[in-house]
Structure 1
Amino acid sequence: MSDAIKMREAHFPGRAPIDAYGNGGFRFADMSNRGSIICVPSGIYGLEMKTPVPTMEDIKHVLDEADKIEVFLVGTGENLLRLPENLRMVLRKKHISTDTMSTGAAVRTFNVLLAEDRAVAALLYAVE
């Protein structure tokens, strides 16, 4: 048996509103996550994002669950940054509308849409 510690992908199995953000992470469902997260119907996953602009790898959970998502919110930190054209096209082909905004605005919008039981997903870049 190996003594090595195995790291598992951070994952909360369910939908939950975001209770707080800042200090490099998020609080939700009486838990906290340091770093960025992606919220999809199957749960909330931790992300290792190098920049606030997502890559195709960062949105793989959204693509995997595209049939359950109508709206995809992207929180790009403190500044509003544009979603790359290739990602917008892939999401559009899957009939998912995207809205890019600051992380704070994305958290608030996600919580409202989640409370309305809408088919929403969100990628939230951690801010300090």
Structure 2
Amino acid sequence: MALFQRPPPLVVRDQHLPRQVPIEAYGDFGFRFEGMTHSGSLLCLPSGIHGWQVEQPAEIDSEALASILDQASAIDVLIIGTGRDIAPFPPALRAALREAGIGLEVMGTVPAIRTYNILLAEGRPVAAALIAIT
């Protein structure tokens, strides 16, 4: 018998936290921030923290990054957390972010959370796309 079971499929709602805050904890297929929990992946943007439908790095495409590109003028660097391990990032998407003036760092989700929290605490214009750890 498995100790932990995968939660039901993520249902993304229009609800979001309308400001950026540090990520307090992670695990069990989700995150905790501002005393709340969220099951599934997250986009941490200048407009706030939103649910993100991406579950695997291969699902990151231009549609998954649309919200980030829409807010490009408020983002200097995007931190992408690809789950347990680092994963390759498509060159075409790297180029689109670069063209929008957004720097990119791709790493596992755990170091991505630490990096995001540090840059946020420094007041840097940062965004994070964090795949929940399964």
Give 1:8's aligned residue.
Answer: 13
Give 2:39's aligned residue.
Answer: 34
Q: Which runs of 4+ in 1 moved over 3 A?
A: none
Give 2:95's aligned residue.
Answer: 89
Give 1:125's aligned residue.
Answer: 131
Letter of the aligned partner of 1:17 in structure 2? P
Summarize deviations over 1:2-44 as a string: whole Å, max 9, x none: xxxxx73241110100000110000001111100001010001
The number of residues matched between the two structures is 122
Letter of the aligned partner of 1:22 in structure 2? G
Summarize deviations over 1:58-112 as a string: whole Å, max 9, x none: 1111101000000000000011112111110100001111000000000000000
Give 2:28's aligned residue.
Answer: 23
**Residue 65 in 1 paired to residue 61 in 2?**
no
Report percent identity of matched pairs: 43
Contact 2:41 2:55 survives alignment (8 Å):
no
Give 2:4's aligned residue.
Answer: none
Q: For residues 118 and 52 of structure 1, do their structure 2 counterparts lie closer, same or farther at Cα, with a shift above 3 Å needed?
A: same
Contact 2:77 2:127 survives alignment (8 Å):
yes
Distance in 1 (CA, whole Å) between partners of 2:33 and 2:57 is 21
TM normalised by structure 1 equals: 0.91
Letter of the aligned partner of 2:120 in structure 1? L
Distance in 2 (CA, whole Å) between partners of 1:27 and 1:18 is 6
Give 1:100's aligned residue.
Answer: 106
SS across alignment from 2:113: helix
- From 19, 38, 43, give the equivalent of 2:48: 43
Distance in 2 (CA, whole Å) between partners of 1:50 and 1:115 is 27
Give 2:80's aligned residue.
Answer: 74
